[in-house]
């Protein structure tokens, strides 16, 4: 959800105002997902690198996270949204950790949209932690080196209970991955809207999904038509 700070700066506001405006967009996007056939939505809220930002901005973000959870907990439950968090939550402020646990518990039985929030999350960090888990089992003798597989690796990740993403959207026109779902996104399609996150609404999401659905996903294979075309060219 990139571009909150830039959106605010362009309007003569402080960066926290941009993050607050961005938080308001979350509800609109969450509400739009079911009508678009989206069953799982993952939002990158705070990265492992974001701790390096100015202290006032980090504290402001933590305050926004707390306010969002308090204000939206009952609404998310009422709309049958199950919320999960991934990342290094134990490094977050205690009050925020408690709210995260409350929100997960409150929505645990919900059967609608699965909303995952990545907070204090980094793709490389997640992979390292997964390798450590598997290494402990290896040292304990409960598994052998030959047992290690892609499936085992996936089960050791924060996203073990989730499907791999089909589509990743990064707003603000930036065209880099920035340490997000590195293992899981191996075959994801990407869309890079040039607008900032506070401007990304339901219509923008619908446009991104339409773009995704217009693409042919081969997963490393070759379609029959492409294969025939190449064969014809060879002759």
Active site residues: 2, 50
Which residue, 198, 165, 147, is CA-closest to 20? 198
Burial class (CB in 10 A: 0-12, 13-18, 19+), 211: middle
Residues in the chain: 235
Element (H, E) at 204: helix 202-213
Instruction: Tell me the three-class secondary structure of 15-26, residue by residue.
Output: HHHHHHHHHHHH
CB 5 within 8 A of CB 78: no
Structure token pair of residue 116: 């995952």
How far apart, in Å, are the Cα atoms of 160 and each of 38, 130, 139, 154?
19, 10, 22, 6
What one-character DSSP code corresponds to residue 111?
Answer: -
């Amino acid at each position: 959800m990139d571009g909150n700070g830039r959106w605010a700066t362009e309007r003569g506001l402080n960066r926290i105002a941009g993050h607050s405006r961005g938080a308001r967009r979350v509800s609109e996007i969450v509400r739009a997902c079911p009508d678009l056939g989206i069953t799982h939505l993952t939002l990158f809220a705070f990265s492992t690198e974001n701790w390096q930002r100015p202290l006032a901005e980090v504290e402001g973000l933590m305050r926004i996270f707390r306010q969002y959870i308090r204000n939206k907990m009952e609404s998310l439950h009422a709309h049958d949204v199950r919320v999960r968090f991934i990342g290094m939550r134990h490094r977050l402020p205690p009050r925020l950790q408690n709210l995260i646990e409350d929100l997960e518990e409150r929505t645990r039985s919900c059967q609608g949209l699965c909303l995952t929030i990545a907070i204090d999350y980094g793709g490389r960090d997640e992979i390292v932690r997964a390798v450590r888990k598997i290494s402990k089992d290896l040292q304990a003798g409960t598994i052998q080196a030959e047992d290690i597989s892609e499936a085992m690796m996936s089960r050791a990740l924060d996203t073990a209970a989730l499907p791999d993403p089909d589509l990743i959207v990064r707003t603000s026109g930036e065209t880099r991955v920035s340490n997000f779902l590195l293992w899981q996104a191996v075959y994801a399609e990407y869309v890079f809207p040039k607008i900032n996150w506070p401007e990304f609404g339901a219509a923008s999401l619908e446009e991104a999904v339409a773009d995704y659905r217009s693409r042919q996903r081969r997963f490393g294979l070759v379609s029959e038509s492409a294969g025939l075309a190449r064969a014809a060219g060879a002759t």
